[in-house]
Structures are given as structure tokens and as C-alpha cells.
């Protein structure tokens, strides 16, 4: 099994990253470079999580071998002299009580992990600070040529990173000219690595502090069906205003595109740029503009004021942003609709005497064998109306205790004598018995606890029942929770969500 576990995990993690990319992405619409960059970024992030337990178990085994060799080099027989006069000299041999080192099943040979971690670390650094930000700016650029997109991406990143380089360079010059400090290449490399990791540590502290409280609280609130339904209504009312704002923004942008499409005819030099903008518009707008287009009219027949290439690039960028925002809010709205109607069904079925869960609307997908034979309407009623809330409450209590253990372990991390960190105590107990499997599983479980759960759903085509559900919730929200938005209203955006999405190194929006 020498190195076999490492090879198996590398293949499994790659399959996991590929599956998630296929689940949350679209291979047909996305560009190959975007898919490759996202797959590589996710793959490296997952590798760190799954390979770290193997590295720890191998390190424990190597440390045991070092301790055994150090113990073997010390003399094992020592004379014990007696002050009393006896005919015989008493000599006692101390027994070798050193334990035998057991090789873990996932042992990794020497020389592999240092190279592996260097490749993973420096590749992640290049992706985080160079490639992915450049690809994000390239995808959001309004340029019509590859050269124009690259130029825009370089300018945006130069402004962004120029500020950091100026601050870092000023501090570096101060350290270099200080008479008591002498910088070498190794120390300069260490400073650069530390500066690059500072942002990741800051983001980790921010997300960890929020998740330790929010995850247990979210499960506790999920156990209260009535409270969760009212909260969902409030979210729907808030999201509806954002959805209406995105629709109005898209209409305004499409109106500008329509005017430019009618003014720039087929033989205009900028017509190819207009066609590029039209391809980014929704299909219904493309069909509407295509019907109103008269290709027989020459652009030189009328002396109109035509837009410049720079203004078209700005409009192109506005179209990309408006369409992305429109699609995002509609997918979020569809997911929230499903959640609201499900909670309404749970509230109705709680008083049912037949103890069979009845849905208000038929599921859009056909019923599979799992729901037909195992998750029957009776089992669904017991789970949704009785067991689920108690399960969430127990899970919330367990997660709260786990959060307290994490906070305690973080506060007592530097205490080595005595060891006060709970996770360190568990690992040391498993290390004494050479229970490598427990060490790897516990480390993997602790690491996965820090990861946020992502729940997504593909947008479905709106059938007649879905239109009825949408209209019903729209009427309820408009009549009870909010007035109809005016066209001149402006609603603030979720700045924190944008900040986090901007900071994640593996997020690419195209």
C-alpha cells in the first residue's frame, strides 16, 4: 500500500471536483479556459482537505521512528552500585520499554509530500493572485476583441494590485534600509508568503466566527416550522423588490440596445460589435429586435449620430451585468418559491388525520423508485411533521457543543504542557494506540466542519402549475407584505455577499 492511498485519493478528489463542476456549471455554455481554471482551483482546494490527514498519520509514524532510534542509541544496561559491603555486586538491567512503531495503512514514502505541497501551494498562489482575478476581469470586460478584453483586465488588476504593491514596497524599503535588519532572499520569500496568506487568514477568521454561531442557529430555527415560514415570507418580499429592480434594469438596458440596433445597419463598421451585444441578450429580446430590423436600409442614407466603439464597450458591459443579475434573481426566486410552498404544505399536513403527506402541486420530475417504495407519503408525513424538527434540534445542540469545543481549542492552542485543546487530546490518545484510521477520519471531519454548505438548484422551465404558484405568492406578497415598487426606487445591494464572492479565489462568474 506504499503510496497507493495517495494515488487513490488524488483520483477520487478529481472525480469529486469534476462532478461538482458538472452539477453547478454548464459545460456547453462555458468556455474551456473557464472550466479548466475553475476545475483546477476546486481540485487543489479539495486536495488540501483530503490529503492532510494522510500527511499527519505519516508524520506521526516518522516521529515514532525518530524517537525509537534515539532511545536505541542510549545505553540500556546501567550498573547500580550499593554502599553496603556484600560478596556480590548487584547489577540490574533496565528493560527496553520502547513501543514498536506500526506503519499506517496510508503511509506515504519519503520525498513525495514536500514536492506535493510545494506544487499545490504555489499553483494555488498563482491561481488566487494572478490567473483567476485576470479571468474574472476578462469575463466582465465589455471589449469586443481578445486584445481589448486583455487590456481592460490588465488595467483593472493593475489598479487593484498596485495599491497593495505600493504599501508592501514601502514597508519593504523601510525594512531594507533599517541598520539592524538584513534581508536575504530566504527572508524576502518568507515575507512574501506571509503577506499573501494574511488575506486568507483574515477571511478564515471572519467566516469561522460567523459560521460557529450561524450554523447551529440555522438548524434550530429550521426546527420551528411556523417561524421559518414567516421568515421565508419576509425573504420573498425582500427578494421580490430586488427581482423587480433587476427586471427594470434589464428593460432599460435592452431599450438602449434596441435603439443602437436600429441606428447601426448591416453595412456599418461597428455592426459586428452590435451583433456581439445582441448575442448576450436574452432570447426573447433577440427575437423581438430581429423582427424589427430592416437590413435593406443603408446607414449612409441618414445623417445620424452613431455611437463610438468605446460607448459600445460600456453598453456591452452593462448588458453582461444586467443579464447576470436578472438570471441570478430569478433562480433565487424560484428556489424561494419551492421552499415557501413546501413549508405551507407542511403546515397544512400537520393537522391531517390520514397521516399521509399531500403536496399542493405535483412535483415537476417523475416519481422514482425511492419515493415509490421507501419514502412513501406516510413516511414523508412522519418525517416532515414529527421527526424532522426533533432531529434538527438535536443536531443544533450537537453543533453548538462542537462550536464551543472549536472556540476552546482555538483559545488553548498554544498550551502544550498541559494540553488543553480537546482535539489535540483526542489525537494524542489515538496516537498512543496507533489508531491511524481514527486520526484521519477525525481530522477530515474537523476540516469539513469549517466548510460552508452550498445548496443549489437548476432553474426549471415554468409550466402552468408553476405559473399558478408564482402568481399566488405574488398576490399574497403584494397584498400583505410590500407595496408595488416604483420605477424611480433604488434598493441597496448586499455588499457583504459581493465582498465574499469577490474574495473567494475559485469563484468565476461568466
Q: Distance (Å, rounded) from C-alpha 456 to C-alpha 20?
A: 11
Locus of grid cell 488566487: 128
Average predicted confidence (pLDDT) for the chain:
76
Q: Distance (Å, rounded) from C-alpha 60 to C-alpha 433?
A: 12
**Per-residue pLDDT at 463:** 37
DSSP 8-state class, residue 308: P
Contacts of 343 (CB under 8 A, 6+ apart): 225, 228, 229, 232
Range 145-166 burial, b when 16+ CB lie within 10 A, else e: eeeebeebbeebbeeeeeeeee
Give me the sign of the Cα torsion angle 25, 31, 36, 41.
negative
| DSSP letters spanning 132-154 | HHHHHHHHH---SSHHHHHHHHH
Q: Please write the tens of the pLDDT for every residue from 357-374.
A: 988 887 777 778 888 888
Domains in the chain: boundaries: 4-72+101-210, 223-364+460-510
Alpha-helical regions (H) of 223-308: 225-263, 271-280, 283-291
Average pLDDT over residues 482-507: 31
**Per-residue pLDDT at 283:** 86
**Per-residue pLDDT at 448:** 63
**Per-residue pLDDT at 287:** 82
**Per-residue pLDDT at 440:** 75
Q: Distance (Å, rounded) from C-alpha 300 to C-alpha 267?
A: 9
pLDDT surpassing 90 at residue 393 = yes
Pseudo-torsion of CA 362, 365, 370, 371, nearest 10°?
A: 0
Cβ(400)–Cβ(216) below 8 Å: yes
Cβ(326)–Cβ(247) below 8 Å: yes
- Between the CA of residue 95 and those of 74, 76, 165, what are the distances in Å? 12, 7, 62
Q: Please write the tens of the pLDDT for every residue from 431-488.
A: 777 777 777 777 676 666 555 433 333 333 333 333 334 343 333 333 333 333 333 3
**Per-residue pLDDT at 14:** 94
Grade residue 304 by pLDDT with cuts at 50, 70 and 90: low
Grade residue 395 by pLDDT with cuts at 50, 70 and 90: very high
Cβ(442)–Cβ(424) below 8 Å: no
**Per-residue pLDDT at 129:** 81
List the one residue out of 373, 370, 346, 343 whose CA is nearest residue 358. 346
**Per-residue pLDDT at 242:** 93
**Per-residue pLDDT at 363:** 76
Q: Distance (Å, rounded) from C-alpha 324 to C-alpha 186?
A: 45
Three-class DSSP labels, 412-445: CCCCCCCCCCHHHHHHHHHHHCCCHHHHHHHHHH
Q: Please write the tens of the pLDDT for every residue from 263-272.
A: 887 778 888 8
**Per-residue pLDDT at 230:** 92
Grade residue 215 by pLDDT with cuts at 50, 70 and 90: confident
**Per-residue pLDDT at 405:** 86
**Per-residue pLDDT at 340:** 92
Average pLDDT over residues 352-360: 87
Q: Please write the tens of the pLDDT for every residue from 369-390.
A: 888 888 888 999 999 999 999 9
Q: Please write the tens of the pLDDT for every residue from 93-150.
A: 444 455 678 888 888 888 888 899 899 988 988 888 888 888 888 888 888 888 888 8
Q: Please write the tens of the pLDDT for every residue from 274-283.
A: 888 888 888 8
* Residue with the larger pLDDT of the pair 247 and 453: 247
**Coil, strand or helix: which one is 370?**
helix
Q: What percent of the chain has pLDDT over 70?
A: 77
Give me the sign of the Cα torsion angle 47, 53, 58, 60.
positive
**Per-residue pLDDT at 387:** 93
**Per-residue pLDDT at 296:** 54
Amino acid at each position: 500500500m506504499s503510496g497507493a492511498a495517495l494515488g487513490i485519493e488524488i483520483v477520487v478528489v478529481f472525480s469529486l471536483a469534476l462532478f461538482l463542476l458538472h452539477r453547478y456549471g454548464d459545460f456547453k455554455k462555458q468556455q474551456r479556459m473557464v472550466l479548466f481554471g475553475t476545475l483546477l482551483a476546486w481540485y487543489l482546494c479539495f486536495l488540501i482537505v483530503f490529503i492532510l490527514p494522510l500527511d499527519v498519520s505519516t508524520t506521526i509514524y516518522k516521529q515514532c521512528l525518530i524517537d525509537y532510534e534515539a532511545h536505541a542509541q542510549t545505553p540500556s544496561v546501567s550498573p547500580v552500585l550499593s554502599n553496603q559491603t556484600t560478596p556480590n555486586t548487584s547489577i540490574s538491567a533496565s528493560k527496553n520499554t520502547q513501543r514498536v512503531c506500526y506503519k499506517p495503512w496510508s503511509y506515504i514514502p519519503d520525498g513525495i509530500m514536500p514536492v506535493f505541497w510545494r506544487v499545490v501551494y504555489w499553483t494555488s498562489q498563482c491561481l488566487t493572485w494572478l490567473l483567476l482575478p485576470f479571468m474574472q476581469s476578462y469575463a466582465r470586460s465589455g471589449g469586443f476583441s481578445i486584445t481589448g478584453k486583455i487590456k481592460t483586465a490588465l488595467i483593472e488588476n493593475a489598479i487593484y494590485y498596485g495599491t497593495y504593491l505600493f504599501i508592501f514596497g514601502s514597508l519593504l524599503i523601510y525594512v531594507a534600509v533599517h541598520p539592524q535588519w538584513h534581508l536575504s532572499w530566504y527572508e524576502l520569500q518568507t515575507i512574501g508568503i506571509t503577506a499573501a496568506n494574511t488575506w486568507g487568514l483574515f477571511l478564515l477568521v471572519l467566516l469561522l466566527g460567523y459560521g460557529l454561531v450561524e450554523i447551529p442557529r440555522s438548524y434550530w430555527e429550521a426546527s420551528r416550522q411556523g417561524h421559518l415560514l414567516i421568515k421565508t415570507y419576509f425573504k420573498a418580499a425582500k427578494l421580490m423588490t430586488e427581482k423587480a429592480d433587476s427586471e427594470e434594469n434589464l428593460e432599460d438596458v435592452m431599450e438602449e440596445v434596441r435603439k443602437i440596433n436600429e441606428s447601426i445597419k448591416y453595412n456599418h463598421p461597428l455592426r459586428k460589435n452590435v451583433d456581439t451585444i445582441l448575442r448576450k441578450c436574452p432570447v426573447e429580446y433577440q427575437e423581438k429586435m430581429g423582427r424589427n430590423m430592416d437590413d435593406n436600409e443603408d446607414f449612409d442614407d441618414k445623417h445620424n449620430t452613431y455611437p463610438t466603439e468605446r460607448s459600445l464597450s460600456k453598453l456591452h458591459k452593462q448588458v453582461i451585468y444586467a443579464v447576470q443579475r436578472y438570471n441570478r434573481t430569478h433562480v433565487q426566486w424560484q428556489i424561494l418559491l419551492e421552499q415557501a410552498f413546501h413549508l405551507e404544505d407542511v403546515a397544512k399536513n400537520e393537522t391531517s388525520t390520514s397521516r399521509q403527506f399531500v403536496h399542493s402541486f405535483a412535483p415537476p420530475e417523475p416519481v422514482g423508485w425511492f419515493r415509490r417504495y421507501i419514502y412513501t407519503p406516510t413516511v414523508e408525513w412522519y418525517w416532515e411533521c414529527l421527526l424532522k424538527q426533533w432531529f434538527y434540534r438535536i443536531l443544533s445542540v450537537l453543533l453548538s457543543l462542537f462550536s464551543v469545543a472549536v472556540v476552546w481549542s482555538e483559545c488553548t492552542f498554544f498550551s502544550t504542557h498541559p494540553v488543553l485543546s480537546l482535539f489535540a487530546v483526542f489525537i494524542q490518545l489515538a496516537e498512543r494506540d496507533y489508531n491511524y484510521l481514527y486520526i484521519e477520519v477525525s481530522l477530515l471531519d474537523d476540516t469539513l466542519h469549517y466548510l460552508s454548505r452550498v445548496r443549489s438548484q437548476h432553474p426549471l422551465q415554468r409550466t402552468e402549475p408553476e405559473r399558478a404558484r408564482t402568481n399566488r405568492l405574488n398576490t399574497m406578497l403584494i397584498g400583505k407584505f410590500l407595496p408595488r415598487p416604483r420605477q424611480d426606487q433604488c434598493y441597496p445591494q448586499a455588499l457583504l455577499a459581493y465582498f465574499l464572492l469577490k474574495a473567494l479565489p475559485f469563484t468565476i462568474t461568466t
